[in-house]
Structure 1
Amino acid sequence: MTLGEAARRSAADNGFDLQAFAFSAAPEQLRPPRIVRIGLVQHSIVLPTTAPYVQQAQAIRSKVGQIIDAAGAAGVKVLCLQEAWHMPFAFCTREKQWCEFSECAETGPSVAFCRELARKWGMVIISPILERDAAHGDTIWNTAVVISHTGHVIGKHRKNHIPRVGDFNESTYYMEGSTGHPVFETAYGKVAINICYGRHHPMNWQGFGLNGAELVFNPSATVGGLSEPLWGVEARNAAIANSYFVGAINRVGTETFPNEFTSGDGKPAHKSFGHFYGSSYVAAPDGSRTPSLARHMDGLMVADVDLNLCRQAKDKWGFQMTARYDMYASDLQRYCTPDFQPQIVRDPAAQSPS
């Protein structure tokens, strides 16, 4: 696939990994190909976390702007940034001053920045931010804002699952989201966002599939000591089970904070989460996937995806057609009652004698 000299020159000049791949679908007689060029961006922060917040935010926007411009020059039409891309991932610290980075999902500075670039390149941009919901008592949410190719905000999705493991103290800052499993019908396909920890929850992935998603992005911030053995299979499994494409995006770099914090894993007090290992990739509904972006570098992954492959995978495997949603719904309804009893059939001969 052709990316153009401008994108390759930008990657060389600005020191980010640039990779490109293509997924094809079988030719059809009644439908033309539906090829969409998508982009995933992974990056580190720029300034130390001790720098003034306004300078940190401006430096990140400057770096990310260069990568988005490269994506635009390469012809990307749907692009997703990493989780909380506009700030350090400070949710290990429990220090509420980091809430200063939160912003309005419609008019905040990071959103305005992405809206301008979306208009410039005719590109749908998914901008995951720390949202401040002024209409509801300044509640803080972990939110992905979906911006159309014309630069207007289509809508937003809030993170459904909040980790309570290791250094991930996110529940100190925001609660589980309230927006369900929305799918956004853009000019280039039906797009959904499964923010970070949701990738560990199969039914979360399924919720987006039930609503008709064709492209699901998983903007993340996760470290090597916790999740790296799982990273390469989770998005791929979700793509297979739900017959859609998945773009898995992870932050990169090591972020050190001014004050020590303690861990749910019982580690001695420390100042760093560990290494965000990047390794972003795209997985397809037929089980194929791209290689990963670099583990220690900023990066832009570009992929041409033929959305016809989604329906072709459904027709081949019939996962959705043969699912027993009525049975699952009944099981879940029983499970959610206070007097739930697991359906376990015991062997009387295996009981201990009284």
Structure 2
Amino acid sequence: MAGSPFESLEKTLEKHIPPVELKDVRRILFGNDTKKLELSQCAVEAALERDFELQGCMFEAGQEQLRQPRIVRVGLIQNAIVLPTDAPVMEQITALHRRVGEVVEVAAMCGVNIVCFQEAWTMPFAFCTREKMPWTEFAESAEEGPTIRFCQELAKKYNMIVVSPILERDEVHGDTLWNTAVVVSNSGAVLGKTRKNHIPRVGDFNESTYYMEGNTGHQVFQTQFGKIAVNICYGRHHPLNWFMYSMNGAEIIFNPSATVGELSEPMWPIEARNAAIANHCFTCAINRVGTEHFKNEFTSADGKKAHQDLGYFYGSSYVAAPDGSRSPGLSRTRDGLLVAELDLNLTRQINDKWGFKMTGRYDMYAQELTKAVQDDFKPNIVKE
């Protein structure tokens, strides 16, 4: 794949660093080693047959006297689009439903309780083109659209929470479009939805061309398997965004994304991991893979010639824990499923150890931020 010379950072390190040094290199780069999660042979064989990477890892907590371990398994799915971008809209949606559905089936074999898909998973990431049609035709209802019905079937069939990021069409409010993640309970009911809070305006990622900034705030969803939140894509660049989900009680924050190499790859391994540390929670970073070619050329507001693709989506999905450890990343080039077993007791244990929230001085920052957003604000600078 053009622009993707290696499959993953982890495999490159293993190939070139002597084993005696590799352990310390990994400790410094990735924190404490996560244990490998042994997955069923039927799941391994199914992933091989369906041509996607399957990884499993474990994040353990210390034994407590008054609480039993709170074990939950999450599944992160990254994938390339299936059909060319100029294929009929419903055929593209149906093909992606089929592809992701067969990965979810393997997630169920692995005992996954909560699965999350990548940002706008039912369509090409066409927002770079600045064209309205046919891309707005992918938008659908967050309550009763075909994708939500599909996710409800998966949730009921596998007793699994499904987090499904879609392009939402809000017919109630004048056909407004939103970048939305719908949370479907394992009962099959739509538990709720959360909308993307921060909209990028970086070259072709001026997504305000398509949808509005979210208006759902920082909702956290109480599920049978823990309290979860969804910080969609660009929101990962905003520390206060992660912070407010955590303040509302999130134990796991998913970050479904669609981001390309030149734009953000050096930031990718850092941001979700930093958020896990700062907010005493688990974070799950998910990115699509592949290069998506479009019929019409477009420019990228960078002075370069017009082109027909945005670049390569580098995958590398991973899970980070509140103790600073993180899983190996999935491939930069292949579809994949990462299964992570989490002991949610680790969130409080790390909070008790480091006390970032207890020492946060939020009243002080609230006062200063209140002043900073006023028109007559003057920076607190001391001069001679």
TM above 0.5: yes
CA distance in 2, matches of 1:278, 1:166: 21
Contact map agreement 2:330 2:338 (CA 8 A) in 1:
yes
Contact map agreement 1:235 1:248 (CA 8 A) in 2:
yes
Aligned match of 1:131: 168
Matched, 1:297 2:350: no
CA distance in 1, matches of 2:80, 2:336: 10
Aligned match of 1:142: 179
Q: Deviations over 1:16-61 (max 9, x none)?
A: 0100000000000000000101100000001111111111111111
Q: Which runs of 5+ in 2 are unaligned?
A: 1-36
Indicate the SS of the match to 1:143. Answer: strand
Matched, 1:265 2:302: yes
Matched, 1:204 2:241: yes
Aligned match of 2:348: 311
Amino acid at match of 1:292: G
Contact map agreement 2:75 2:339 (CA 8 A) in 1:
yes
Aligned match of 1:32: 68
- The correspondence for 2:79, drawn from 31, 43, 67, is 43
CA distance in 2, matches of 1:139, 1:6: 44
**Offset at 1:65?**
0.5
CA distance in 1, matches of 2:146, 2:308: 28
CA distance in 2, matches of 1:202, 1:287: 16
Aligned match of 1:287: 324
CA distance in 1, matches of 2:143, 2:304: 39
CA distance in 1, matches of 2:340, 2:311: 29
Task: State the 4+ residue runs in structure 1 displaced beyond 6 angstroms.
Answer: none
Aligned match of 2:287: 250
Amino acid at match of 1:12: L
Q: Which runs of 5+ in 1 are unaligned?
A: 349-354
Amino acid at match of 1:95: E
Aligned match of 1:119: 156
Indicate the SS of the match to 2:202. Answer: coil
CA distance in 2, matches of 1:231, 1:48: 27
Contact map agreement 1:165 1:265 (CA 8 A) in 2:
no
CA distance in 2, matches of 1:58, 1:230: 33
CA distance in 2, matches of 1:154, 1:266: 45
**Offset at 1:269?**
1.2
CA distance in 2, matches of 1:55, 1:126: 22
What does 1:57-76 correspond to in 2, within 5 Å? 57-76=93-112
CA distance in 1, matches of 2:169, 2:116: 20
CA distance in 2, matches of 1:244, 1:38: 14
CA distance in 2, matches of 1:221, 1:146: 19
Contact map agreement 2:130 2:204 (CA 8 A) in 1:
no
Aligned residues: 347
What does 1:326-341 correspond to in 2, within 5 Å? 326-341=363-378
Aligned match of 1:351: none
- The correspondence for 2:200, drawn from 148, 163, 166, is 163
CA distance in 2, matches of 1:155, 1:215: 16
Indicate the SS of the match to 1:264. Answer: coil
